[in-house]
Amino acid sequence: MDSSSLSEDCSHNNNNTQPPNDQRLYLVPHRWWKDAQDSVPADLNEKKGILYNASPGSTGPMKIINNIFSSDIVFNLRREEDLPNNRENDEVGVSGQDFALVSGEMWLQALKWHSDSKNATKDEKGFSATADDMSDVYPLQLRLSVQKETNSLGVRISKRDNAVELFKRSCKIFCVDTEMIRIWDFSGQTTLFFVNDISKAPTDFQRQCEEIFLELQVYGLSDSLRCREGKKYEIASFNGCSSLKMNGSSGAMNGDSLTFSLRHGEAGSLGLTGLQNLGNTCFMNSALQCLAHTPKLVDYFVEDYGREINHDNPLGMKGEIALAFGDLLRKLWAPGASPLVPKSFKSKLDRFAPQFSGFNQHDSQELLAFLLDGLHEDLNRVKRKPYVEVKDGDGRPDEEVADEYWHNHLARNDSIIVDVCQGQYKSTLVCPVCRKVSVTFDPFMYLSLPLPSTAIRTMTLTVVNSCIDGIAQLSPYTISVPKNGRFEDLTRALGIACSLGADETILVAEVFTNCIIRFLEDPSDSLYLIRDADRLVAYRFKKDSGDAPLVVFMNQRLEEQYIHGKLTPNWKAFGIPIVVRLCNITDGSDLHNFYLKFLSLFRISTEETSEDFDASIKTEEIVKMEGITTPSLGPNEEGSDSPSDEGFQFYITDEKGTVKGSKILMNEPLVINAESRRLHMLVGWSDKRIQQYEPQLFSPLPEVFKSSFFAKRPQESISLYNCLEAFLQKEPLGPEDMWYCPSCKKPCQASKKLDLWRLPEVLVIHLKRFQYSRFMKNKLETYVDFPVDNLDLSAYIAYGNGKSYRYTLYAISNHYGSMGGGHYTAFVHHGGDQWYDFDDGHVHPISKEKIKSGAAYVLFYRRVSEI
């Protein structure tokens, strides 16, 4: 497009023929032009250059509304034809910031002269630009506004119109705030914009549009251009734009334009302002920096957002949180700002969210959730929320039901937060009894994803086979269970591991100091009740013995201990407790014989022990056994009987192990509690008996999970997609989240399945690193490998509505350290491949390769538009 053509909006009726390429308008270094000017034919070189001086800002009919992320270059070109400095001499127009506008033919002639001078050759047959010459030419799109009253042109160069790399080059060229920039027009094209006779103006310009779209061919203004005799035409480096305007005012917010005049280097530093730590407020600073660099929110809050504040919303905070956040955001993006002290915002936060008051460390994600919800309610465009009745799907298509839910949601919730941050997921509940299916479509502000590799817990248990079938009786098994699972998950996994038969069942018990302290019988109890240092035993039974009484045998042996300075024999528990279900047990003889039969599987097979064992089961010897004292009966006195080496002594105890009576005799009837159907027995062992059995029976039980203090586990690594898949998996509801089934008319532990249905423009992903329960607190240091430039969720969306499902990362909230303290920072993308680390008041660059770490806590993605 040539210099006289207008924007597409103004030229749809233009019938003029497009001029040839060599008639385009070129911007070149003035010195480069002056060196070759005398060689240009007179018919092309008769025009006297018209000087324009550049100055910051823009006035006149062209209204410049720049957002923070565009940072358009805005400046004025004032025509100086009536001033004395509009004369060419050897001292004017020769600096690195002086340029010339020439036509395509003039540029070609000057290029030929430079080429001839360099090669010392003449080609009378003609000349054309080489590939090397054309590689130094690039187009730059400008928008002009004519300001006749000041005899000047308003110029705007926008990222929207130009490629990113070309825009960066233009920032280096038009540094009007720090350098005096002058442009001489030798083409005569700019004079057409100021003609009083409209008939002499270009056809398109007669339409009196606000803006003129001009394409310049920029040549010789790369970092350096080598010319004749090694000369260089240097362009001063500039790291930003010359002027930034933001709609709105930080004061009365009356809609007036707020203009920042930037000094050298300030445009590139916009938004790179830290927040001082007020005392454990790094969590707040991290969340605020991520929100303050969310593009659509920045655009919104630097404009006049005051008209949308909902002062009367009972769910809001009378607009005070929105005003405090907007004021803080504007200060963060002000040029030349030093680190801010966010006392005013912290004061508002303490007032409306007392959970964050004081100076204790808090969770940045919890603060983020509060801020998003608070900003939404303060800026909710719905002043009076209508009553909306939720209707069941009744077999209607999901698309229809989802749209109905979304429209009902928007009828009550309409704000910039909903526009940018809210999505929708499909929730499916299934009753385990009647199979009733309930489908709802609910909005979400962010996704809280589990870390699946650490959602699995490894546990070791010892299985005791009490079925007396001749196989090995004690076997350790290591299983994997959901970390947030229930006891039923443990028994299910253990049953698979030990090949539990269809006619068998297991009962798990916790053992402490060789005594059973509890049975794990409630399938809905949380696995958090089991600690890594606990020791568990699983007892295996036949299902057909389910009505038989449960007998618990606790083993004790006599040991000598010093008590009050005197060596005294004392009973102490040892070995693994034995739990069996006994049928047809009537007296002490039945009990004793069964116990011996069970132990026979662990007996050491030698001739001596075999004879001893045969003698031990003779009833006449068993009947002769004498009484024996236990610690529950009282301290042993000197001269008390020692245990018989010929057999075992049995005592009935309560659940706590306290002996309730004397030794059980062989013919003594057993009385079992009809309510509990359990019988607790204490069995006294002699040292000789202990030597006759396998040490396995007396070895310490393994811990549920044995961790080494010195051994460092390799850092786990998982993909963000794995986290998303774990989030979308079908899972049963917990007892505290029971669902009321409309068919069964009662609460039930339904299964739940989530599906992504509608994705927002800004997707916030929370990685659930912190785990809380009544019994423990834990932080997961798992390294999550998340995409930076291309998060593609196309495979995870349940409903394709034609929108893009590709996202790019722009901010991260990080947490370093332990559960109870630690430190929060933020990583923020600032154009190109440049990232910055916001560590409270300190802001410094960080390489793109270093933004991934095990500290990543909350990820901020924005949707990428499809081309």
Catalytic residue ranges = 282, 823
How is residue 748 written in tokens? 């039930």
How is residue 447 written in tokens? 């996704």
Q: To 10 degrees, what angle do helices 320-332 and 282-292 make?
A: 80
CA distance 250 to 325: 11
> How many Cα atoms are found within 13 Å in the side-chain-facing hemisphere of 394?
3
Name residues whose C-beta falls within 8 Å of residue 552's C-beta, 6 or more positions apart in sequence: 516, 577, 578, 579, 678, 679, 680, 681
Secondary structure string (H, E, C) spanning 376-432: HHHCCCCCCCCCCCCCCCCCCCHHHHHHHHHHHHHHHCCCHHHHHHCEEEEEEEECC
What Å distances lie between residue 15 and 4, 204, 211, CA to CA?
13, 9, 19
What is the 8-class DSSP label of residue 333? T
CA distance 144 to 211: 5
Secondary structure string (H, E, C) spanning 100-158: EEEEHHHHHHHHHHHHHHHHCCCCCCCCCCCHHHHHCEEEEEEEEEEEHHHCEEEEEEC
Q: How many Cβ atoms are within 10 Å of 59's Cβ, its own excluded? A: 13
* Residue 463 host element (H or E): strand 456-465
What is the 8-class DSSP label of residue 493? H
DSSP per-residue string spanning 721-753: HHHHHHHTS-EEPPGGG-EEETTTTEEE--EEE
Q: To 10 degrees, what angle do helices 343-352 and 320-332 make?
A: 160
Nearest to 407 by CA among 428, 429, 380, 389: 389
CA distance 491 to 509: 12
